[in-house]
Amino acid sequence: MADAGGGGARTGATCPSSTCSPGHLLLGIVRPDGTVAALRQPITVDAEFAERAAAPGRRPAESRFRFAGPCVGAACRQWEDERCSLGDALAQAGRESGAADTDAPLPPCAIRPTCRWWLQGGPAACHVCTRVVHTAAPPEAGRGA
């Protein structure tokens, strides 16, 4: 797959591992086993949801849910050599695990046409995407928060 992005502040691509911010999309829910279950339809995050998700005493929203937002390119700490280094690492992991060589259907995805990881790594990145959680939950945090 060709990389559709450039080094600018905004690339036109969507980051599949973004923050809980108004206007971003809620794509999935982190399961107890640490994998992400995709929502059938993404939900646009509003200010009220973002505020409630960040309430004191709660685990970070990004450890409980998967969000998508605009890929910010060079403004992101994952950006290296005009590419998303995380997307490249995921595609490599998919190839090494053999996931990219299967005829298994791709997991459901509401943003695939604009997804930064898909644009860079294609099916290899998609097959391991559900294993990525933006923020690890602190060890002392319970599952219910």
How many C-alpha atoms does 108 have within 13 Å on its Cβ side? 10
**pLDDT computed for residue 7 by the predictor:** 37
Confidence of residue 65 (pLDDT cuts 50, 70, 90): very high
Cβ neighbourhood burial of 26 (10 Å; 0-12, 13-18, 19+): buried
What's the pLDDT tens digit per position in 79-126? 999 999 999 999 999 999 887 666 788 989 999 999 999 999 999 999
Mean pLDDT across 24-29: 97
Q: What is the pTM of this model?
A: 0.84
**pLDDT computed for residue 2 by the predictor:** 32
